Chains A and B, each alone.
Chain A
C-alpha cells in the first residue's frame, strides 16, 4: 500500500515517526507552513522556519525513504500579529522554490479583518505563482467559517479545483462538495474526526476530490492515521483501488497542479527502476 499524507507537520515529529510512517506505507507527504505552538514575534522567525521546510526537513525525510514537499504562507493565527505580517513581503521568493507545491495554510482562525487581508492577499499570490491553495478551516464556529472561506475563494478568482478546504467534518463537507473545491479531512486521535466517521463520509460522498491527512503536529496526534483510515476503508468493503485513489492518486492530482511534485523515485516499483544516485542527491544515506 502506498500512502501520500497531504498534510503533516514533520518539523514537530521524531525520526521514530518517519520510520513508522515508512513501515506503514507512507512514501510522500506535504508539510504545510503553520504556527508552532509558541507564537513567533518577528518575520525573521518565519524565514528560518521556511528555510527548514525547503532545506533540512526534506533532507531528514529522504533519509527514511519519504519524499517531502511543503506549502508556504503566513498562517491565519499569526496574521493577527502586526510584528509578523511583514513576512507577506518575503513569500514570493519562497513560492518560486521547487519543493513548494501550494500556498498554505491560509484561511481563518478567529475571522478578523487582519485574517481577511492575509487570506485574500495570499490567494492572489497563489494565482500569480500558478500554485494551488491549502485552506485551513477554523476549529471554532466552523460552519460559518467555511461559508465565509468559500465566499473569499469565489471572490479571489482562483479556480475551485485548485483549492482544498481542510479539517472538514460531517457538518461542513456538503458546502465544500458543492463549491467544486477539494475536501480535506484531518483524522485525529480524539473527537474532531476519526477514521470510522471518515469511512461514512466516503460512503456518502464517494472517493473523488477528497484528501485524507493526519495533520500530525506538536499536539496530540497520530502520524499513522492515514494508514488507519486505509485499513478502515478496506474493512468496510472499499477496494484496494479506492484506497489508492484516496490516499495516493488524489493528493498527487491535487498538488500535481503545481507542476512541481517530484515522485519519480518513490512511484517506481522497486528502487532499482531509477538511478540509485537520485536518492543520494536528495539526501538519502549512501549505501556503505
Chain B
C-alpha cells in the first residue's frame, strides 16, 4: 500500500467534503507536525469509517486510509517521527491505534515501531491484532512473535486470509503449532478452521491429526 494507492482507493469512498478536509489537514500537518494531534482523532467523523474495499471487512477502512495519509504527510524522520507516532498510538482510541499500525509500512521508521506491534498483539481486540499483523509485521516482526500472532488469529477467529505474510512467513515451527492446535480441537470434538490448511500443506513432514489419531490417543 502506498499513499497514491490510498488516495485512489479513497475516491468515491468518502464525501467531497471529506476529501477537502483531508487535503486541508495534510497541508496543515506538513506545515506544523503538531497539528496532527487534533486532526488524527477527528478523521472518522470527517471522512467516514466504512470499509475502503467493500469485499474486505478485515481490511483497511476509510478512516484508516485518511489517518495513514496524515501520518505520511508528517515532515518528520528519526526520533521525532518515532516520538510523535508512539504518542499518537498511546493516546489513541482503538480506531486510531489500528490506523497507526496499518500506516507503519508507509513510514520511514525501520524496526523502531515494533513495540507498537507487540502492544497490539498483547490485546484481545481482533481489529488491533489483525492490523498489527500487516505488511510491517511481515517484514520486521521476529519469528517467535509472528507465530504467536498467527496462532492468536486462529484462536480468535480472524481469517488467516487477512494476513499478507501468509503462507510465505510460515515455517516448520508454525506448522507444528498449527498441527498441535488441530490435535487439541480434534480431541475436544470441535471443528478445525480450514484456513490453517495452506500452512500445513507447505510442511508435509508435519503430521496432521485426524479423528483416527484421537481414538489412538
A interface residues (Cβ-Cβ under 8 A, vs B): 51, 54-56, 58-59, 93, 96-99, 259-260, 275-278, 280-281, 283, 285-286, 288
State whether the Cβ of B157 lies closer than 8 Å to any Cβ in chain A.
yes
Which residue numbers of B lie inside 8 Å of A, CB to CB?
Answer: 37-38, 41-42, 44-45, 49-51, 54, 56-58, 61, 91, 93-95, 97, 123-127, 157, 159, 193
| A-chain residues with CB within 8 Å of residue B124 when the two chains form the complex | 56
Contact yes or no, A98 B95, CB < 8 A: yes
- For the complex with contacts A283-B126, A283-B127, 4 further pairs of A-B residues with Cβ separation under 8 Å are A54-B94, A56-B123, A93-B37, A281-B57
Contact, CB under 8 Å: A275 / B42: no
A96 engages B42 (CB within 8 Å): yes
Contact of A276 among B57, B93, B127 (CB under 8 A): B57
The A interface is mostly helix, strand or loop, or mixed, namely loop
Q: Which residues of B contact A54 (CB under 8 A)?
A: 93-94
Q: Which single member of A55, A280, A281 contacts B93 (CB below 8 Å)?
A: A55
Among A55, A260, A285, A286, the most chain B Cβ lie within 10 Å of the Cβ of A55
Q: Do B94 and A260 touch (CB < 8 A)?
A: no
**Closest beta carbon of chain A to B13's beta carbon, Å:** 12
B125: which A residues are within 8 A, CB to CB? 55-56, 59, 283
Contact B45 A59 (CB under 8 A): no
Q: Which residue of B lies closest to A93 (CB)?
A: B91
Are the CB atoms of B41 and A285 closer together than 8 Å?
A: no
Among A58, A260, A275, A288, the residue within 8 A (CB) of B50 is A275
- List of A residues within 8 angstroms of B42 by Cβ: 96
Contact among A58, A97, A260, A281 with B61 in the assembled complex (CB-CB below 8 Å) = A281
Task: State the CA gap A56–B49 with chains docked (Å).
Answer: 18
Q: Are A260 and B157 in contact (CB under 8 A)?
A: no
Q: Chain A residues with Cβ under 8 A from B58's Cβ?
A: 280, 286
CB proximity of A255 to chain B, nearest CB, Å:
15
Distance of A3 Cα from B95 Cα, bound (Å): 26
If A55-B93, A59-B125 touch, whether A280 touches B41 (CB-CB below 8 Å) is no
Q: CB distance A286 to B45 under 8 Å? A: no
Q: Are A281 and B49 in contact (CB under 8 A)?
A: yes
The contact sample of 7 A-B pairs, CB cut-off 8 A, is: A55-B93, A96-B42, A98-B44, A275-B50, A275-B51, A277-B57, A281-B49
